[in-house]
Amino acid sequence: MKNNYKIILASKSPRRARVLEMIKVNFKVAPSKINEEINPKIEQNEIAIDISKAKARTISNRYPNDIIIGADTIVVSNEEIFGKPKDINESKKMLIALSGNSHKVITGVTIMNKRLGIVKTFSEMTEVFVKKIPTKKIDYYINNFNTLDKAGSYGIQEWFSVWIKKINGCYYNVMGLPVSKLYKHLVETEDLMKWYSFNIYYKFTELQKVAMVKVKSKY
């Protein structure tokens, strides 16, 4: 039996797409356009999961038979939570706050299939230590790279990496997808989908056999 589902990334992030391409996942992109406003009333680990779930749910309504991957990343610096900056001024404030300090990068992920009611959620945290960055270098980064589409206003995979002293945890989590955990849960979800599909197919063929026997018995 062929797979009768697709894997859909509910994000327009090119970095998340790159991670999925790296591990040879066959997927398509369907960006979710939800309001990514951070709810300060819930736990830090739950904030990213909450948003990732909303992203996955929105896209699963359009593609109920497919596996949807929703993800969201936040940065926590001195208990202050950074999402994507609203403008260049906010971007600069974030980078100044990160300069010379350590911070946490938390990514929440939801894997969902609406038809079978599958919902898997998990999060990953990576600690990042940043060197002291001169103000001129912060201005250079803002003026030469897109800092507005990234949580915390930086991308670890680009020029900003020269200011990273060290990290504790998953590098790809900082890019937006904790690849090891994601792969594990994705394989489990696909196995579950195949198990459901096989059982439905088996029951259908058994019903067909019973129906044929009943028809033959009439003649």
Q: Where are the domains of the chain?
A: 7-217
pLDDT of res. 199: 56
Q: Which pLDDT tens digit goes with each residue over 119-160?
A: 999 999 999 999 999 999 999 999 999 999 999 999 999 999
The C-alpha atoms of residue 60 and residue 69 are separated, in whole angstroms, by 9
The C-alpha atoms of residue 36 and residue 73 are separated, in whole angstroms, by 10
Task: Give catalytic residue positions.
Answer: 72
Beta pairing partners, 119: 112
pLDDT of res. 3: 64
What CATH code would you report for 7-217?
3.90.950.10
Q: Answer yes or no: are the C-beta atoms of 159 and 141 closer than 8 Å.
A: yes
Q: Answer yes or no: are the C-beta atoms of 128 and 107 closer than 8 Å.
A: no
SS3 content of the chain, % helix, strand, coil (to 5): 45, 25, 30
What mean pLDDT, rounded, does the chain reach? Answer: 87
Query: What is the pTM assigned to this prediction?
Result: 0.85
Let me know the angle formed at the C-alpha of 94 by 53 and 152, rounded to the nearest 5 degrees: 30
Q: Band of the pLDDT at 42, cuts 50, 70, 90?
A: confident
